[in-house]
Amino acid sequence: MLRIVQSNETEALIEVLASRLPRGPFHETTIIVPNRAKERFVETSLARHRKVLANVRFARLETWLSRCWETSLAKSGTPQRILGTRELEVRLLEVLSRDALRAPPLEVTNSDDLDPVRRFLGPDAGDRRAQDKRIAELAARLSQVFTEYTFSRPSWICAWMRGEDAEPEVSPLERWQRALYRQARACVSEGVPAISVAEMLELPRVWEAAEPVIVFGLSYVAEAFQRALGRLAQHTEVDVYAVNPCREFWADAETPRESRRRLRRTKPGLVTSLTATTFVADENALLQAWGRPGREHVAVLDELSGFAAEDAFVNRSEGVTEAPLLQRVQAGILERCPTPAGGRDASIVLLPCPSVRREVECVKQLIWGFVAAHANGPSPLRFSEIAVLVQAQSRDLYLPHIESVFGESTLDAAHHIPWSAQDLQLGARSRVAEAVLRLLRVLRTSPTRRELLGLASHALVHSGFEGADPR
């Protein structure tokens, strides 16, 4: 059974979840969240509402599904496991390192679908070390691409494993990718056989160990996991608390580019003045421009629930005579209408910056401005109540600048900003944890020279030896 609650605010979803969460310390509940930051938010919010929070487990969707599938197949006597990105990368390294692919295409008697790969590796055929580097980079990149195919295009992977084409019109790009993927999958691995998520969904007995679960705060999931949630709901209770910015039906809120593509497909030869940046006058431009991933996710949830989702939407600008710009923008998105007219204010500020460091410096100045403005009020603003959001893809780019800028003193020692990073691995949050993890890795496995040097050169290790040179 699938139950869905939708809201434009995470806080409203928390209130509904807190009122329906089973009471009592002996009832175990599993809540699936997208990341560590969301987990901490849900955990602290539920504890605040319930006073006592016990026997609640948090998990990530992919990890929880993998454990459920592997347990079910083990019980049925046909053990299988999910092929991970790292294992796929190792298999690709094995395939790409073969002499048949290292040789230039002209030296191969019978041309095949992998000629583009040979042409890519061919320029470094005379330099073994340079070719090895190119092979390693290609394997790392392709392992990520193939994993994305598994999640977002599961039908492609299933067709490739059957020896079929994924698209009616086969391109050379698909030919060499399919051939390389099939060869990587054919590599012999030790232990339990590994298959992809796409193939796992096709197996008949993967839901025997399914348990009731709550899915909270996922704004977008790939197609394979959308299908998995639908099939999971056929075997157990699944409660989904989804963030939906718009309470109206907005599956048809196309971007201008999508509108042009649809017109060309439905009315060939029609000349239209619709350009790639033209927006409909009575439509919300933000939903059109940036809402496609969320729109597709909400459309799938509506389809799975039969358009019977429960609404918990909140309009903060309703009844307010002079709402701030941020609330007016949110209200326009919520009601699927253009942003209501009104003046500009500081609730939305755009800062054009020439570099990442300057961007972080401007954010620091804004934070100190917010804190100073509320310093003498009845409820002073705390640093712990301010969040700085960074895209996951840009985290490694921004984190060193945040550490440097937030920790430095502009006027005196009191002007640094205390901060902590969420959703980071343990070793990235603490130098002590980083040293311990390196030590455990050396003790647990046969360490490489690089791992030994990494442990010996760690600041907390060599500082304990007098006269040690960290270089």
Taking the CA atoms of residue 5, residue 8, residue 10 and residue 12 in that order, the dihedral angle to the nearest 10 degrees is -70
What are the b/e assignments for 379-404, b being 16+ CB within 10 Å? eeeeeeeeeeeeeeeeeeebeebbee
pLDDT given at position 407: 78
> Are 416 and 409 in contact, with CB atoms under 8 Å apart?
yes
CA distance 283 to 285: 6
d(CA 158, CA 266): 30
- SS3 call for 311: strand
pLDDT tens digit sequence for 385-434? 898 988 877 888 998 899 888 876 544 555 788 888 877 665 555 677 77
Q: What's the CA gap between 68 and 70, in Å, rounded?
A: 6
Q: For residue 137, give the 3-state DSSP assignment.
A: helix
The pLDDT value given to residue 358:
94
Three-state DSSP class for residue 393? helix
Strand ranges, E, within 211-283: 213-216, 238-243
CA dihedral 273, 278, 279, 282 (to 10 degrees): -50
The one-letter amino acid code at 250 reads: W
The DSSP letter of residue 339 is P
How many CB atoms within 10 Å of residue 280?
14
The closest of 58, 85, 75 to 206, measured between CA atoms, is 75
Handedness of CA 11, 16, 17, 21 (dihedral sign): positive
pLDDT value at residue 109 = 46
pLDDT at 11: 93
pLDDT value at residue 3: 92
Three-state SS string over 83-94 comes to: CCHHHHHHHHHH
Q: Which helix (H) or strand (E) holds 2?
A: strand 2-7
Residue by residue, pLDDT tens for the chain (471 residues) are 889 999 999 999 999 999 998 877 678 899 999 888 889 889 999 999 888 888 899 999 988 998 899 888 888 888 888 888 888 999 999 998 887 777 665 554 455 788 888 888 877 667 788 888 889 999 999 999 999 999 888 889 999 998 888 887 778 888 899 999 999 998 877 777 888 888 888 888 888 888 999 999 887 888 888 888 888 998 999 999 999 999 988 888 877 777 777 777 776 655 455 444 445 567 888 888 877 778 888 888 888 888 888 999 998 888 777 888 888 899 999 998 887 777 788 889 898 999 999 999 999 999 999 999 888 888 899 988 898 988 877 888 998 899 888 876 544 555 788 888 877 665 555 677 778 888 887 887 777 777 777 777 777 776 666 655 545
Task: Tell me which amino acid residue 160 is.
Answer: W
- Residues 452, 456, 460, CA angle at the centre, nearest 5°? 135
Question: What's the CA gap between 289 and 254, in Å, rounded?
Answer: 8
Rounded to the nearest integer, the mean pLDDT of the chain is 83
pLDDT value for 12: 94
Q: What are phi and psi of 366, to 5 degrees?
A: -65, -40
- Residues 445 and 320: their CA atoms lie apart, in Å, by 63
* pLDDT value of position 277: 46
DSSP state of 98: S
How buried is 116 (Cβ within 10 angstroms: 0-12 exposed, 13-18 middle, 19+ buried)?
Answer: middle
What is the C-alpha to C-alpha distance for residues 186 and 366, in angstroms, rounded to an integer? 55
- Which of 35, 9, 89 has its CA nearest to residue 395? 35
